[in-house]
């Protein structure tokens, strides 16, 4: 998933007035303002009610549903194997995002989480905030050396405490 493809997909969603926020590796790179590594996929957080529109919009770009399903995350993949992981959340009256996890729990995005922005190839893109991306990227995952370097760079850039995380052996 290269930078030009990310911008194309974000631009397409924007023209259809579908709001999304970057999470995962591309969010880290956007918040750092530079691509630090190659990415297997693109992680997007969206409004749950926009899920069908996102599936259709990315379908216009050749993506088909490969896994998952509402109200949980779902994966869209094109013929070349480019993958978009969509994490739909229900926005509450207070602005929090409630994401339904597969195990039955809820992941709560604080209202402030949706106020981040970064840059890809010089273009401003909507992201979750650095604090939230850092927590999302380290909670429940074992990090390899590459991902550990990314979260350390993000924490350093924004003066954030690095959460504890597991290292991949």
Taken in order 122, 5, 58, 77, is the CA torsion positive or negative?
A: negative
Q: Is residue 167 part of a domain?
A: no
DSSP state of 138: H
pLDDT for 118 equals: 97
CATH number at residue 135: 3.30.460.40
How is residue 115 written in tokens? 């106020």
Report how many domains make up the chain: 1
* pLDDT tens sequence across 66-110: 999 999 999 999 999 999 999 999 999 999 999 998 888 899 999
Q: Is residue 166 part of a domain?
A: no
**In the chain, % of residues over pLDDT 70:** 98
Q: Is residue 169 part of a domain?
A: no
Q: What's the pTM?
A: 0.92
Which range of residues forms the domain containing residue 25? 3-161
Q: Is residue 13 part of a domain?
A: yes
DSSP state of 46: E
> Which of these ranges, 17-26, 31-40, 49-58, 143-152, has the smallest mean pLDDT?
143-152
């Amino acid at each position: 998933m290269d930078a030009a493809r990310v911008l194309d997909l974000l631009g397409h969603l924007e023209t259809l007035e579908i709001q999304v926020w970057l999470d995962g590796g591309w969010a880290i790179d956007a918040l750092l303002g530079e691509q630090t590594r190659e990415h297997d996929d693109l992680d997007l957080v969206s409004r749950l009610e926009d899920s069908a529109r996102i599936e259709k919009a990315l379908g216009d770009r050749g993506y088909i549903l490969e896994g998952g399903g509402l109200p949980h995350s779902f994966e869209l993949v094109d013929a070349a194997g480019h993958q978009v992981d969509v994490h739909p959340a229900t926005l509450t009256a207070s602005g929090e995002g409630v994401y339904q996890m597969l195990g039955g729990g809820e992941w709560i995005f604080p209202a402030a989480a949706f106020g981040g922005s970064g840059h890809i190839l010089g273009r401003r893109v909507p992201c979750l905030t650095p604090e939230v991306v850092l927590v999302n990227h380290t909670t429940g995952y074992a990090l390899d050396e590459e991902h550990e370097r990314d979260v350390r760079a993000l924490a350093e850039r924004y003066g954030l405490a690095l959460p504890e995380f597991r290292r991949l052996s």
